[in-house]
Amino acid sequence: MATDCVQVQTTAGSREEADRLASVLLERRLAACVQLLGPVESRYWWEGRVESASEWLCLAKTTAARVDEVVAAIGDAHSYDTPEVLVTAVRDGNERYLRWVEETVILGP
Residues 6+ apart with CB under 8 A from 87: 6, 7, 8, 9, 67, 71
Tell me, what's the pLDDT at 24? 98
- Give yes or no for residue 97 having a pLDDT over 70: yes
Task: Yes or no: say if 85 and 9 are a contact pair by the CB < 8 Å rule.
Answer: yes
Residue 70 has pLDDT above 90, yes or no: yes
Local confidence band at 13 (pLDDT 50, 70, 90 cut-offs): very high
Is residue 108 pLDDT above 80, yes or no? no
pTM for the complete prediction?
0.93
The model's pLDDT over 73-89, given as tens digits with 9 standing for 90+, comes to: 999 999 999 999 999 99
Phi, psi of 70 (to 5 degrees): -65, -50
**Contacts with 25 (C-beta within 8 Å, 6 or more apart), sequence order:** 31, 34, 60, 62, 70, 73, 74
What is the band of 106 on the pLDDT scale with cuts at 50, 70, 90?
Answer: confident
